[in-house]
Structure 1
């Protein structure tokens, strides 16, 4: 792993970075949807309080990435809100965040991690496949942009 890279547990002071990192990629590729803002404005209420977890990636002293693990129901979690700043892409940060999320899911007793994505996000989909996720049919979802669902059985 990159010696300048630290994977940190989310703290309330990270909320502006969590929001900004996700807004950056969503606005670049898609449209920010109301559900995005609800979650990004209140990660403690939407993600942490129900039993989820958020990781932040620090590189060279700056927060450059994030990824959330959202508790869906017993034993099933969603990998969500993964973002790496364009200036820090290609440094293995997404891989490190993905590994941290999968390890945390195992620690929490999950038997499956799911994610929703979009076919336009080819580098992200390649990363998820490298982490062991596989494609499954896409169910109805609150996000307009979702056209990919992947799962990882633990």
Structure 2
């Protein structure tokens, strides 16, 4: 049974490890990645964002994801990853559903978006199944955040 855990400072190393692993496996850790992963409380939580974790009873924390406020009542769904050794367990979908549910409860949210790369085909498929749609305006306005970004998506709830 997978469960969702809220952020605590004790889980910050798991947030860093899970995300640094998948980013480094496919891309290069960029300065923005390093800052957010090394300082999740400062970069996300203290600014009104949320970090959630997926916990597996046999494997511990296996996934993490965040909703990061980006100004103008927008939130980026970011730094969402699942450990490579437990992919295929449904953890990504459980985590994504929990993040979207949390976003629905944010009173100031007007835009929920994510930035990714076309190299992340499985993730893009997961996002599409959850209702995210490709959005050229989001790509134009936020895509330069990461050198690897060539896909931007917006969720209809915001």
Q: Which moved more, 1:83-92 or 1:66-75?
A: 66-75
TM-score normalised by L of structure 1: 0.94
Corresponding residue for 1:22?
A: 19
Corresponding residue for 2:85?
A: 87
**Structure-2 separation of matches of 1:74 and 1:94:** 28
Flag structure 1 segments of 5+ consecutive residues without an equivalent. Answer: none
Which residue among 57, 64, 71 is the counterpart of 1:60? 57
Which residue among 3, 7, 11 is the counterpart of 1:10? 7
Determine helix, strand or coil for the equivalent of 2:145: coil
Determine helix, strand or coil for the equivalent of 2:114: strand
Determine helix, strand or coil for the equivalent of 1:141: helix
Deviations 1:57-96 (A, max 9, x none): 1112511100000112343211000010011111111111
Which residue among 111, 133, 155 is the counterpart of 1:152? 155
Q: How does 1:3-152 map to 2 (within 5 A)?
A: 3=1, 5-61=2-58, 62-109=60-107, 110-137=109-136, 138-139=139-140, 140-152=143-155
**Structure-2 separation of matches of 1:38 and 1:99:** 26
Flag structure 2 segments of 5+ consecutive residues without an equivalent. Answer: none
Determine helix, strand or coil for the equivalent of 1:49: helix
TM-score normalised by L of structure 2: 0.92
Structure with greater helix percent: 2
- Structure 1 runs of 4+ off > 6 angstroms? none
Q: Is the 8 A contact 1:111 1:153 kept in 2?
A: no
